[in-house]
Chain A
């Protein structure tokens, strides 16, 4: 097994009395693609937000390469630079064009030279097929294009791993594909990723490991073949059934 990159130990997150994440532990190895699935409200997104310390946690420990990520700590911004995150709603900065969206963090937070980053940004944009959109503003782009820019923006920081929070949930079906292809490309290049998604086919194709979360607990942790074909728990079976349809009989009443 490759070396450990991200380690989550006994992570507990509560909103007041409501326990959203309950004693979660797992380890992400370098180059591993982990897909997190589960019903809405099971804590998937919250878990990603905790990893990036956008939420305070009530217990447990999160470390990246041995460095602990603590909410509100001083070195948080440098730790966050090592973890790229892409949100469901893209969240490009509307007042900046595509290129400036990408350049902002590398030039301001990492103090890298603008020329050098511009070159890299253009290469990355080319890779996702958007090199001609560098000077466009976010509102001139489609959802899928925005999401690809958001991925490039995160990649340009040279993160050690990426978090994807339901990045295709707000997209039209036709645009889902173009974003998923970019993520598949990343997986091929060996990027370590945690992906929260409802696209089961995609999950099957990209995952090295699937985590099934319910009520803030990991109830299955398996390779994709085992999980999708032969889930251990009844709950996971039920969940997966939602995604398969059977042709309804013609005389069946609805």
Chain B
């Protein structure tokens, strides 16, 4: 094990990790918004929109991220939409994550008994108020475990970004292996940096789950 090598290229990994995190979180944030809107369209059975959402979810969940990235990166410019690696990474992650988030939120919404909505309506609340104050808070806390799992899954998926020449962690590791044949060191750093990114998310997620389960609805 060549520790000097590791020390020397640490900054390179740090930059790559920051890029991975930046693109990862941006993509996930957009995925959450997409997922949220899709889940509401499905929950309220909005005509037409609900069909479009279902088709999107099936396409998004049943194709690999790599293929989605290639599609965005190579096909979009052909129809006149310019792309760059970063935007492509964000868009790819949002496209993939949107459907997973939609399913997470939807299962949360569907776990709420319809009578909760009815009892809110019968009190004279508007549908939107009932959704916001009664249904959503419950649905969100129910979907937290699935939500956390999705965030972790999506952050791991960022490892295919190198395919569209985004200088993320994977790209950096492959680059160093190619240049110096220091496979062990490069891969070790790759694993360590992914753990640095993902472990806090995982721990935070468990804490959140426990708090919502026990503290959320009393006691």
- Residues of A at under 8 Å CB distance from B? 52, 54, 77-78, 80-85, 87, 89, 91, 93-95, 97, 104-105, 108-110, 136-140, 150, 153-154, 157
Specify which chain A residues have a CB less than 8 angstroms from the CB of B122 in the assembled complex. 52, 54, 80, 83-85, 87, 154
Q: Are B218 and A139 in contact (CB under 8 A)?
A: yes
Bin the interface of chain B by size. Answer: 20 to 34
- A77 contacts B115, CB within 8 Å? no
Closest residue on chain A to residue B116 by CB atoms: A91
With a cutoff of 8 Å between Cβ atoms, the chain A residues found around residue B116 in the complex are 91, 93
Alpha-carbon separation in the docked complex, A77 to B125 (Å)? 6
Q: How far is it, in angstroms, between the C-alpha of A164 and the C-alpha of B124 when the chains are bound? A: 16
Interfacial chain A residues near B129, Cβ < 8 Å? 108-109
- State how many angstroms separate the Cβ of B58 from the closest Cβ of chain A: 30
Known contacts A54-B118, A91-B115, A95-B216; A81/B141 CB under 8 A: no
Given A87-B119, A91-B116, A137 and B125 touching (CB < 8 A)? Answer: no
Known A-B contacts A94-B138, A139-B217, A140-B219; A109 and B115 likewise in contact (beta carbons under 8 Å): no
Question: What residues of B have a CB within 8 angstroms of the CB of A91 in the complex?
Answer: 113, 115-116, 118-119
With A89-B115, A94-B217, A137-B219 as contacts: A104 and B125 at CB distance below 8 Å: yes
7 more contacts with CB within 8 A, not counting A82-B124, A108-B129, are A84-B122, A104-B123, A104-B125, A108-B125, A138-B217, A139-B219, A157-B123
The answer to whether A77 touches B219, judged by C-beta atoms less than 8 angstroms apart, is: no
6 sampled A-B residue pairs with Cβ under 8 A: A104-B123, A105-B120, A105-B125, A110-B124, A136-B218, A140-B218
